[in-house]
């Protein structure tokens, strides 16, 4: 189904919210205002936006170490996100989790994850709960190409296939796991080849094209809602920044030319050009959206900066759920 103009606008805004949030986070990180590890999602926005626009609010998401984009796309509050990334008390996790553990359970975003492969089994569990309850909610597992090499991934996807669970598997193939190129650590060219081994359908989509991701996701979600089990979607995409931090060029494991080639296919530029060329949305309207998102991000940075560090008295809270 060709996305409507409303859908396209939604895709555009969600991608922009991710992009501008991430770039602001990168600046804070560079300025030493953001502690710990920072895995930026920039370059891959079309995937999170495409999938999440296709999802319903009650559908769940499991995420990865590169998880900000998934939460933003699920409707995350940028202020609470920024505060969390800065380790502040008003952050999503009260400063206890940071970038790698950011979550919003009210939005059914079940958390970023510091362990590669750690999130996928959790999405399968959410899918199980949906089927158990007999509702038509679907859970979505976002994961990287590299994570498909770990045991937890295989165990989880096979289980979902065997139990015919309503789970959508979204592989974000950005060609690298940290500093190692994909072809060094798997003997197949398309990760989606693995789907056949689990007996589930697999499709490849251009992960730089939000509309294509949206359409493929809608199909996978519908299939799961109909009780026909999981679908595997491989999104071919690219991360602009280094695995961690804000460097883009001059890396030993990839060439600068490769980075520049991918940037020419930038998901936001491509969508903006397509809709203005087709006369669907005016350049002015796109610019107005950008200005709105810029303001929202600036507000988030200010909120994060003004939020206090958590009080030491909270150190030992939330280890267990207390009985009531």
Partner 1 sequence: MTATTTPSSVHPQPSFVPETDRELTYLGAFNEAMFQLMREDEDIFVAGEDVGLQGGVFGSFKGLSDEFGERRVVDTPIAEQAIVGLGIGAAVAGLRPVVDLMFFDFVMVAMDQIANQAAKLKYMFGGKATLPLTITTNGGAGLSAAAQHSQSLEAMLCHVPGLKVVMPSSPADLKGLLVACVRENNPTILVKNKRMFGTTGLVPEELYEIPLGVGNVVREGNDVTIVAYGRMVEESEKAAQRLADEHGLSCEIIDPRTVQPLDTDLIVASAKKTNRVVVVHEAVRFGGLGAEIAAQVQEEAFDYLDAPVARVAAPFSPIPFSPGLEGHYVPNAKRISAGILETLGRPVPGA
Residues that bind ligand TPP (CB under 6 A): 65-66, 114-117, 144-147, 174, 176-178, 243
For residue 195, the partner it binds in ligand TPP, partner 1, Mg ion, none, with Cβ less than 5 to 8 A by kind, is none
Q: φ, ψ for residue 156 (rounded to 5)? A: -70, -45
Residue 245, C-beta contacts closer than 8 angstroms, at least 6 positions apart: 29, 38, 40
Whether 235 and 213 have beta carbons less than 8 Å apart is answered as yes
Binding pattern for the stretch 106-145 against partner 1, x by CB under 8 A and - elsewhere: -------xxxxxx---------------------------
Binding pattern for the stretch 176-215 against partner 1, x by CB under 8 A and - elsewhere: -xxxx---xxx-----------------------------
Whether 201 and 232 have beta carbons less than 8 Å apart is answered as yes
If binding is defined by CB under 8 A, does position 100 make contact with partner 1? yes
- Cα angle vertex 90, ends 89, 95, to 5°? 45
Cβ neighbourhood burial of 205 (10 Å; 0-12, 13-18, 19+): buried
3-state helix, strand, coil in the chain (%, to 5): 50, 10, 40
Q: Cα(174)–Cα(154) distance, rounded to whole angstroms?
A: 19
For residue 66, the partner it binds in ligand TPP, Mg ion, partner 1, none, with Cβ less than 5 to 8 A by kind, is ligand TPP
**Distance in Å, CB of 98 to partner 1, minimum:** 3
**Distance in Å, CB of 150 to ligand TPP, minimum:** 6
Of 179 and 299, nearer to partner 1 (C-beta) is 179
Point out which residues bind partner 1 (CB under 8 A): 35-37, 87-89, 93, 95-98, 100-101, 113-118, 146-147, 149-152, 177-180, 184-186, 252-253, 308-312, 314-316, 319
């Amino acid at each position: 189904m060709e996305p409507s103009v409303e859908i396209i606008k939604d895709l555009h805004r969600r991608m922009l919210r991710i992009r501008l949030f991430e770039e602001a986070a990168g600046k804070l990180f560079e300025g030493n205002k953001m502690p710990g590890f920072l895995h930026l999602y920039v370059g891959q926005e079309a995937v999170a936006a495409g999938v999440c626009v296709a999802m319903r609010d009650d559908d769940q998401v499991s995420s990865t170490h590169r998880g900000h984009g998934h939460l933003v796309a699920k409707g995350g509050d940028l202020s609470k996100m920024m505060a969390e990334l800065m380790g502040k008390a008003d952050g999503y996790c009260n400063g206890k989790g940071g970038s790698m553990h950011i979550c919003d359970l009210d939005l059914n975003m079940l958390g970023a994850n510091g362990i590669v492969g750690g999130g996928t089994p959790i999405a399968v569990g959410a899918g199980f709960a949906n089927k158990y309850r007999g509702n038509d909610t679907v859970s979505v597992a976002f994961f990287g190409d590299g994570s498909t090499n770990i045991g937890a991934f295989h165990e989880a996807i096979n289980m979902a296939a065997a139990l015919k669970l309503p789970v959508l598997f979204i592989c974000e193939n950005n060609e690298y796991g940290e500093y190692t190129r994909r072809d060094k650590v798997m003997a197949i060219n398309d990760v989606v080849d693995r789907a056949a081994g689990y007996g589930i359908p697999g499709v490849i989509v251009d992960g730089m094209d939000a509309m294509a991701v949206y359409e493929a996701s809608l199909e996978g979600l519908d299939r799961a809602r109909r009780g026909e089990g999981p679908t595997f979607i491989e999104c071919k995409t690219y991360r602009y920044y280094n695995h961690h931090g804000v460097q883009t060029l001059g890396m030993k494991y990839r060439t600068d030319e490769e980075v520049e080639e991918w940037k020419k296919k930038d998901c936001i530029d491509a969508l903006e050009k397509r809709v203005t060329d087709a006369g669907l949305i005016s350049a002015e309207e796109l610019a107005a959206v950008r200005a709105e998102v810029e303001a929202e991000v600036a507000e988030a940075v200010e909120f994060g900066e003004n939020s206090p560090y958590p009080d030491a008295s909270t150190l030992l809270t939330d280890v267990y759920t207390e009985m009531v």
